[in-house]
Amino acid sequence: MNVERTFEPGLEPGTVDELIQRAHLAMEVYENRDQERVDQAVRAVAWSIFRPDRARMLAELAVEDTGLGNVESKVVKNTRKTFGTLRDLLRAKTVGVIEEDPARGLVKFGKPVGVVGAVCPSTNPSATPVNKAMMALKGGNAVIIAPSPAGCRTTETAVNCMRSELARSGHPPDLVQLLPAPVSKHATRELVEKVDLAVVTGSQNNVQSAMRSGTVAIGVGPGNVPVIIDSSADLDAAAGKIADSKTFDNATSCSSENALVILDDVYDAAIAALERAGGWRCSPDQRDRVAARHWRNGILNREVIAKDADVAAEIFELPKEAASRRFFMVEELEPDGIGGFADEKLSLVLTVYRAADFEGAQRIVRRILEIKGRGHSVGIHTRNARHARKLAMDTDVVRVLVNQAHTFGNGGSFDNAMPFTLSMGGGTWAGNTISENLNHRHFINITHLVSTIPEDRPSELDLFGPYWDRYGK
């Protein structure tokens, strides 16, 4: 689709102002009042990364650029997340009439929020930009993506793929643009300040900066997931799910298990199950070497983050047999603090605690979340529904996953009700504006058409009666 472009005088190519003007011009010719056309644009963006050759190419490029994670996991992430998100989006109405309720005299119209600025992390330099672009276009918007410095080349390639598919399907390519290199905090901050909506994933510095920008902003808090294994759990099933989840993309996900809290009466059996699933149980001396090399002056050692098990084992100076295992367990008595084993690790190191009973396990979980991850999520492996409900009732998190591989379930799954996403809000507990998974609803404004209905006015007795009965008038 062609459109004559007239730009304000004095705009330098590639500047934030020019990118935003291009986005507005693209929105003018985007058929964003037609749900079918909008859905075709979303399909185009999804196909840009789901196509098998591109899914692998972008996965390989991401690992090459950032040194984080592994190719096979990123191929899965590029395809599974995209496919699940597309499923969710195609089932939703977002433009024009999105809901009618004649009994209440109410009609809702979905409308764009405008130009979206999407700040993306190095851990997912292709999957996250496409995920956010799909949601933004579903709402009838345009999006400008700000990449991380480490993942800039991968994100630029992903954006070019999206633009190519949009053009092929008759949509303006400028619906998706990239904040160009060199990537800088200044340019990213300027973008956040000038767009209509900022959606920020990645470092908490970026999230907090966006929240202070004056722009309507959606940010997500850090993960640091603790998971309880209680006395009723199927230990081998739990261990298998934890191992698969912990090792996926070398633990780059914010939803990766960072700590296990195991009840005392099944502790030894659970450790044995985890060893069968590929875990290496560190001795006290080995635990000390892991601690000394995992952090440098309280800061995560980038040589360890998201590295393969054999690479990490060598850095930690673990025995040769440890290098062939999938992940490493360190046992702690109590959560320590920032820069310790209770903190988010982004590595194949899994901290394990022993709890005398379920109440003790909950106490340890709360302490871990106070250190980092409050609001994000927890998990539990159990056959006791009361334990799961009590954990949800007592813990200040948005998500409590039961008997699931946390990385695969937290951001949406085909066998749970969570929307597919790569950005998970933590509510006010985490300083976030959303307490759910980022989804299409966050990318639309809603106009309410309100008509009169038969009066719905209860009596005073209906409303105050229970109070009067107990306390009098």
**Catalytic residue numbers?**
254
C-beta of residue 110 within 8 angstroms of C-beta of residue 94:
yes
Q: Torsion over CA of 199, 48, 80 and 152, rounded to 10 degrees? A: -50
Question: Helices (H) and strands (E) in the chain — how many of each?
Answer: 17, 17
Contact 280, 325 (CB under 8 A): yes
User: Are 180 and 14 in contact, with CB atoms under 8 Å apart?
Assistant: yes
Q: What are phi and psi of 324, to 5 degrees?
A: -90, -5
HSE toward the beta carbon, residue 334, CA cutoff 13 A: 4
- How many angstroms separate the most distant Cα atoms in the chain? 79
Tokens 């980022």 sit on residue: 438
Instruction: Output the six-digit token pair for 223.
Output: 């993960």
Question: What is the rounded distance in angstroms from the CA atom of residue 133 to the CA atom of residue 85?
Answer: 11
Tokens of 73: 């996991």
Residue 120 buriedness (CB in 10 A; 0-12 / 13-18 / 19+):
buried
Q: Which two tokens stand for residue 434?
A: 């959303």
CA distance 194 to 389: 43
Phi, psi of 160 (to 5 degrees): -60, -40
Indicate the helix (H) or strand (E) that contains 239: helix 235-247
Partner residues linked to 352 by β-bridges: 260, 331
SS3 450: strand
